[in-house]
């Protein structure tokens, strides 16, 4: 997708992300420690993360106009994280600085291309339902959001605030995407305000009770998720790609073959890229294709936000893959 394509498709719609903003503290180890065991680690990384912030960065780098709703502590981590988001062109007028709590932190263990994460939510759970809804209203009042904008939320913030924000955004005419990660559920009325639910295979089983282990079970899971929302559903399946069910029909997209370095921001890159493509007017299947490629490129790099590619990088990588017969 080149700049001319983006300009032709852009009509003032944006991506608004309500979600977590974390400082990631990541270390590699040969294997995950057993109970009471201490292991030597290596290649320590301290960087920006949080599902919400990661998805906002991915959406911005793919080409969307992005605004962040969330909270950080009034500390060094918070200052740096907000500055980093602004450096990616993300509007942070609706990111609160909280004196009553610390910035969220994620402790990440990287082992054999996989990861284990422990979260300390901190300010990520500080916003109330009323505050989250007021932030949505403020974006509309300033002209930063409008009918047709994409609203993207995950499960790392206060779930009551998340549910209220999804409902409020949908009723104001926004296209709502919910990523129940970590696995979580919403009240039944809130699910009906979700236009698209996107989750991985583990979260899928926990949310709808069906493990998507093959095409048949993936279809059943997608159908169950669509019944919950009345909208569309996407399941990311790791090295098996992804599966989607919408008014466009059922589609299964294969994964792109890459050397996996770090999977930390894989799902977030997929979500952010998908939301960006949706905000730019692309059909869901095209959004899923771009998201698949962006996510593949991200896992070939180290770090969370540091691994997230730009639209140009995704395009260049696709061309390189095609030239190499991949």
Q: Tell whether residue 267 is among the known ligand binding residues.
A: yes
What percent of the chain is helix, strand and coil (3-state, nearest 5)?
A: 40, 25, 35
Q: Tell whether residue 301 is among the known ligand binding residues.
A: yes
Is 75 designated active site? no
Position 23 scores a pLDDT of 95
Collapsing DSSP to helix, strand or coil, 313 comes out as helix
The pLDDT of residue 77 is above 80: yes
Which band of pLDDT confidence, cut at 50, 70 and 90, is reported for residue 19?
very high
Which tokens sit at 114?
């996989």
Domain holding 130: CATH number?
3.40.1190.20
Q: Tell whether residue 23 is among the known ligand binding residues.
A: yes
Q: What are the two backbone dihedrals, phi and then psi, of residue 264, each rounded to the nearest 5 degrees?
A: -50, -45
Rounded to whole angstroms, the Cα distance separating 15 from 170 reads 13
Give the CA angle between residues 252, 9, 7 to the nearest 5°.
130
Q: Tell whether residue 179 is among the known ligand binding residues.
A: no
Q: Tell whether residue 238 is among the known ligand binding residues.
A: yes
Unique residue bearing structure tokens 């498709």: 9
DSSP codes, 271-298: HHHHHHHHHTT--HHHHHHHHHHHHHHH
pLDDT in tens, 227-264: 999 999 999 998 899 999 999 899 999 988 888 888 87
pLDDT in tens, 146-186: 999 999 999 999 999 999 999 999 999 999 999 999 999 89
Q: Tell whether residue 324 is among the known ligand binding residues.
A: no
Rounded to whole angstroms, the Cα distance separating 271 from 254 reads 17
Position 114 scores a pLDDT of 80
Rounded to whole angstroms, the Cα distance separating 310 from 205 reads 32
The pLDDT of residue 13 is above 80: no
Q: Evaluate whether residue 38 is within a structural domain.
A: no
Across residues 259-288, what is the average pLDDT? Answer: 93
Which band of pLDDT confidence, cut at 50, 70 and 90, is reported for residue 271?
very high
Which band of pLDDT confidence, cut at 50, 70 and 90, is reported for residue 326?
low
Q: Which residues 6+ apart lie within 8 Å of 107 measured at CB?
A: 25, 26, 117, 118, 119, 120
Q: Residues 144, 214, 268, 286: which is the catalytic one? A: 268
Q: Which residues 6+ apart lie within 8 Å of 280 measured at CB?
A: 1, 6, 9, 10, 13, 63, 64
Q: What are the two backbone dihedrals, phi and then psi, of residue 279, each rounded to the nearest 5 degrees?
A: -65, -25
Q: Evaluate whether residue 298 is within a structural domain.
A: yes
DSSP codes, 109-165: EEETTEEEEEEE-GGGG---HHHHHHHHHHHHHTTS--TT-EEEEESSS-HHHHHHH
Position 6 scores a pLDDT of 44
Q: Which residue range is the domain that position 59 belongs to?
A: 13-20+51-79+88-97+124-323
Position 41 scores a pLDDT of 95
Collapsing DSSP to helix, strand or coil, 227 comes out as helix
Q: Tell whether residue 315 is among the known ligand binding residues.
A: no
Domain count, the chain: 1
Q: Tell whether residue 268 is among the known ligand binding residues.
A: yes
Total-model pTM: 0.90
Q: Tell whether residue 52 is among the known ligand binding residues.
A: yes
Distance between terminal CA atoms of the chain? 19
In 3D space, the residue among 37, 146, 15, 173 whose CA is nearest the CA of residue 91 turns out to be 15
Q: Evaluate whether residue 34 is within a structural domain.
A: no
Per the CB < 8 A criterion, the answer to whether 197 and 228 are in contact is yes
Report the chain's mean pLDDT, rounded to a whole number. Answer: 92
Q: Evaluate whether residue 116 is within a structural domain.
A: no
Q: Evaluate whether residue 247 is within a structural domain.
A: yes
Within a 10 A sphere around the Cβ of 286, how many other Cβ atoms? 16
In 3D space, the residue among 238, 67, 79 whose CA is nearest the CA of residue 150 turns out to be 67
Give the CA angle between residues 299, 304, 308 to the nearest 5°.
65
Across residues 313-320, what is the average pLDDT? Answer: 89
């Amino acid at each position: 997708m080149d700049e001319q394509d983006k300009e032709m498709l852009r009509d003032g719609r944006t991506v608004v992300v309500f979600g977590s903003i974390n400082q990631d503290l990541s270390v590699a180890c040969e294997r995950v420690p057993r109970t009471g065991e201490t292991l030597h680690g290596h290649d320590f990384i301290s960087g920006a993360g949080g599902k919400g912030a990661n998805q906002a960065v991915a959406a911005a780098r793919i080409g969307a106009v992005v605004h962040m709703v969330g909270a950080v502590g009034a500390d060094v981590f918070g200052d740096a994280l907000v500055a980093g988001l602004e450096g990616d062109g993300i509007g942070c007028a609706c990111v609160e600085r909280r004196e009553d709590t610390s910035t969220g932190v994620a402790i990440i263990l990287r082992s054999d291309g996989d990861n284990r994460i422990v979260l300390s939510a901190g300010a990520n759970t500080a916003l109330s339902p009323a505050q989250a809804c007021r932030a949505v209203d403020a974006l509309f009042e300033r002209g930063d959001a409008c009918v047709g904008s994409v609203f993207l939320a995950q499960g790392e913030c206060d779930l009551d605030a998340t549910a209220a924000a999804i409902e409020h955004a949908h009723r104001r005419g926004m296209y709502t995407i919910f990523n129940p990660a970590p696995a979580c559920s919403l009240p039944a009325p809130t699910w009906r305000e979700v236009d698209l639910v996107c989750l991985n295979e583990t979260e899928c089983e926990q949310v709808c009770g069906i493990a998507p282990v093959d095409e048949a079970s993936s279809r059943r899971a997608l159908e169950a998720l669509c019944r919950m929302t009345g909208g569309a559903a996407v399941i990311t399946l790791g090295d098996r790609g992804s599966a989607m069910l919408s008014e466009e029909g059922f589609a299964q997209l294969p994964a792109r073959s890459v050397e996996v370095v770090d999977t930390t921001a894989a799902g977030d890159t997929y979500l952010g890229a998908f939301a960006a493509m949706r905000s730019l007017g692309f059909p869901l299947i095209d959004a899923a294709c771009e998201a698949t490629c962006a996510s593949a490129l991200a896992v070939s790099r180290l770090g969370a936000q540091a691994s997230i590619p730009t639209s140009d990088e995704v395009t260049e990588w696709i061309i390189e893959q095609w030239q190499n017969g991949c």
